[in-house]
Protein backbone atom coordinates (compact mmCIF):
# COMPACT_ATOMS: atom_id res chain seq x y z
CA UNK A 1 0.00 0.00 0.00
CA UNK A 2 2.76 2.46 0.87
CA UNK A 3 4.45 1.95 -2.49
CA UNK A 4 1.29 3.05 -4.32
CA UNK A 5 1.20 6.27 -2.29
CA UNK A 6 4.92 6.78 -2.90
CA UNK A 7 4.23 6.44 -6.62
CA UNK A 8 1.42 9.03 -6.45
CA UNK A 9 3.73 11.48 -4.64
CA UNK A 10 6.56 10.79 -7.11
CA UNK A 11 4.18 11.54 -9.98
CA UNK A 12 3.19 14.80 -8.27
CA UNK A 13 6.83 15.81 -7.77
CA UNK A 14 7.67 15.07 -11.41
CA UNK A 15 4.65 17.09 -12.50
CA UNK A 16 5.84 20.11 -10.50
CA UNK A 17 9.25 19.83 -12.19
CA UNK A 18 7.38 19.79 -15.53
CA UNK A 19 5.59 23.04 -14.67
CA UNK A 20 2.38 21.46 -13.40
CA UNK A 21 0.57 21.32 -10.09
CA UNK A 22 1.57 18.96 -7.25
CA UNK A 23 -0.97 16.22 -7.85
CA UNK A 24 -0.52 12.60 -8.86
CA UNK A 25 -2.89 9.64 -8.72
CA UNK A 26 -2.58 5.88 -9.00
CA UNK A 27 -5.59 3.61 -9.48
CA UNK A 28 -5.09 0.05 -8.27
CA UNK A 29 -7.06 -3.15 -8.83
CA UNK A 30 -6.12 -6.45 -7.18
CA UNK A 31 -2.81 -4.96 -6.01
CA UNK A 32 -1.88 -3.98 -9.58
CA UNK A 33 -1.61 -0.46 -11.02
CA UNK A 34 -4.35 -0.05 -13.62
CA UNK A 35 -3.89 3.64 -14.45
CA UNK A 36 -2.06 6.76 -13.36
CA UNK A 37 -2.49 10.47 -13.84
CA UNK A 38 -1.11 13.88 -13.00
CA UNK A 39 -2.77 17.26 -13.26
CA UNK A 40 -2.39 18.25 -16.90
CA UNK A 41 -4.04 21.67 -16.72
CA UNK A 42 -0.77 23.34 -17.69
CA UNK A 43 -0.54 21.23 -20.86
CA UNK A 44 -4.08 20.92 -22.17
CA UNK A 45 -5.91 23.87 -20.56
CA UNK A 46 -8.74 21.63 -19.43
CA UNK A 47 -10.05 22.20 -15.90
CA UNK A 48 -11.14 18.56 -15.72
CA UNK A 49 -7.57 17.39 -16.37
CA UNK A 50 -6.96 16.44 -12.73
CA UNK A 51 -4.81 13.48 -11.76
CA UNK A 52 -7.67 11.40 -10.37
CA UNK A 53 -9.97 12.20 -13.30
CA UNK A 54 -7.34 11.13 -15.81
CA UNK A 55 -6.57 7.93 -13.91
CA UNK A 56 -10.31 7.11 -13.88
CA UNK A 57 -10.71 7.85 -17.60
CA UNK A 58 -7.70 5.73 -18.49
CA UNK A 59 -8.82 2.84 -16.29
CA UNK A 60 -12.35 2.86 -17.69
CA UNK A 61 -11.01 2.88 -21.23
CA UNK A 62 -8.49 0.14 -20.48
CA UNK A 63 -11.00 -2.08 -18.66
CA UNK A 64 -13.92 -1.17 -20.98
CA UNK A 65 -16.22 -0.41 -18.05
CA UNK A 66 -17.64 2.49 -16.08
CA UNK A 67 -17.65 0.39 -12.91
CA UNK A 68 -14.42 0.70 -10.94
CA UNK A 69 -15.90 -0.55 -7.67
CA UNK A 70 -13.08 -3.05 -7.28
CA UNK A 71 -10.40 -0.35 -7.54
CA UNK A 72 -8.62 1.78 -4.94
CA UNK A 73 -7.40 5.33 -5.56
CA UNK A 74 -4.12 6.64 -4.19
CA UNK A 75 -3.78 10.40 -4.53
CA UNK A 76 -0.95 12.68 -3.51
CA UNK A 77 -3.51 15.30 -2.46
CA UNK A 78 -7.01 15.11 -1.02
CA UNK A 79 -9.34 14.90 -4.02
CA UNK A 80 -11.27 18.00 -5.02
CA UNK A 81 -15.05 17.85 -5.20
CA UNK A 82 -15.00 17.13 -8.97
CA UNK A 83 -12.63 14.18 -8.56
CA UNK A 84 -14.51 12.95 -5.51
CA UNK A 85 -17.75 13.04 -7.49
CA UNK A 86 -16.15 11.12 -10.37
CA UNK A 87 -15.02 8.47 -7.87
CA UNK A 88 -18.58 8.14 -6.61
CA UNK A 89 -19.91 7.80 -10.18
CA UNK A 90 -17.23 5.18 -10.95
CA UNK A 91 -18.05 3.21 -7.80
CA UNK A 92 -14.65 3.63 -6.14
CA UNK A 93 -15.24 3.19 -2.42
CA UNK A 94 -11.73 3.58 -1.01
CA UNK A 95 -9.31 6.45 -1.53
CA UNK A 96 -6.07 7.16 0.25
CA UNK A 97 -4.53 10.61 0.06
CA UNK A 98 -1.36 12.15 1.42
CA UNK A 99 -1.76 15.92 1.67
CA UNK A 100 -5.00 17.59 2.75
CA UNK A 101 -7.10 20.33 1.20
CA UNK A 102 -5.75 22.58 3.95
CA UNK A 103 -2.20 21.80 2.80
CA UNK A 104 -3.24 22.81 -0.72
CA UNK A 105 -4.70 26.09 0.56
CA UNK A 106 -1.44 26.79 2.42
CA UNK A 107 0.46 26.21 -0.85
CA UNK A 108 -1.77 28.69 -2.72
CA UNK A 109 -4.15 26.14 -4.27
CA UNK A 110 -7.36 27.20 -2.55
CA UNK A 111 -10.12 26.43 -5.08
CA UNK A 112 -10.90 23.01 -3.60
CA UNK A 113 -11.59 24.45 -0.16
CA UNK A 114 -13.78 27.18 -1.67
CA UNK A 115 -15.80 24.66 -3.69
CA UNK A 116 -16.23 22.29 -0.74
CA UNK A 117 -17.60 25.26 1.26
CA UNK A 118 -19.87 26.31 -1.61
CA UNK A 119 -21.40 22.84 -1.92
CA UNK A 120 -22.49 22.97 1.72
CA UNK A 121 -24.57 26.09 1.04
CA UNK A 122 -28.13 26.06 -0.31
CA UNK A 123 -28.21 26.58 -4.09
CA UNK A 124 -29.55 30.13 -3.72
CA UNK A 125 -26.59 31.15 -1.50
CA UNK A 126 -23.81 29.90 -3.80
CA UNK A 127 -21.44 32.06 -5.83
CA UNK A 128 -22.44 30.25 -9.04
CA UNK A 129 -25.95 31.28 -10.04
CA UNK A 130 -28.09 28.35 -11.17
CA UNK A 131 -31.57 28.86 -12.57
CA UNK A 132 -33.83 26.12 -13.91
CA UNK A 133 -35.58 26.63 -17.24
CA UNK A 134 -38.37 24.07 -17.62
CA UNK A 135 -38.93 22.06 -20.80
CA UNK A 136 -41.33 23.59 -23.27
CA UNK A 137 -44.56 21.64 -23.63
CA UNK A 138 -43.67 21.06 -27.28
CA UNK A 139 -40.37 19.36 -26.37
CA UNK A 140 -39.95 15.66 -25.74
CA UNK A 141 -38.59 14.93 -22.27
CA UNK A 142 -35.05 13.44 -22.60
CA UNK A 143 -35.29 11.75 -19.19
CA UNK A 144 -38.60 10.11 -20.04
CA UNK A 145 -37.27 9.04 -23.45
CA UNK A 146 -34.24 7.42 -21.79
CA UNK A 147 -36.49 5.74 -19.25
CA UNK A 148 -38.70 4.30 -22.04
CA UNK A 149 -35.70 2.94 -23.94
CA UNK A 150 -34.18 1.10 -21.00
- CB contact at 8 A, 21 and 15: yes
What's this model's pTM, rounded to 2 decimal places?
0.90
More confident residue, 34 or 1: 34
pLDDT digits (tens, 9 = 90+) for 58-71: 999 999 999 999 99
Q: Give the model's pLDDT for residue 137.
A: 87
More confident residue, 110 or 140: 140
Q: Give the model's pLDDT for residue 30.
A: 96
Beta bridge partners of 24: 38
Q: Which of 43, 35, 41 is nearest to 7 (CA)?
A: 35
Given a cut of 90, is residue 42 above it in pLDDT?
no
Distance CA 79, CA 68 (A): 17
Given a cut of 90, is residue 138 above it in pLDDT?
no
pLDDT, the chain, mean: 95
Give the up-direction half-sphere exposure of residue 116: CA atoms within 13 A in the CB hemisphere: 14
Q: Which of 106, 101, 79, 63 is nearest to 8 (CA)?
A: 79
Catalytic residue IDs: 52
Backbone angles phi, psi at 40, to 5 degrees: -110, 20
Q: At what angle do helices 111-119 and 81-90 cross, to 10 degrees?
A: 60
Q: Give the model's pLDDT for residue 18.
A: 95
Give the up-direction half-sphere exposure of residue 103: CA atoms within 13 A in the CB hemisphere: 11
Across 73-79, average pLDDT: 97
Given a cut of 80, is residue 1 above it in pLDDT?
no
Q: Which domains, from first to last, does the chain contain?
A: 3-122 (3.40.140.10)
Across 112-136, average pLDDT: 93
Given a cut of 80, is residue 108 above it in pLDDT?
yes
- CB contact at 8 A, 32 and 59: no
pLDDT interval class at 110 (50, 70, 90) = confident
Percent of the chain, pLDDT > 90? 90
Amino acid sequence: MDHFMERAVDLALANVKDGGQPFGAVLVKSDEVIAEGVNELHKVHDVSGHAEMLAIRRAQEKLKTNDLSDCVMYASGEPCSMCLTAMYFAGIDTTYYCQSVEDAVDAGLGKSAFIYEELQKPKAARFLVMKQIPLKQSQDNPMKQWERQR
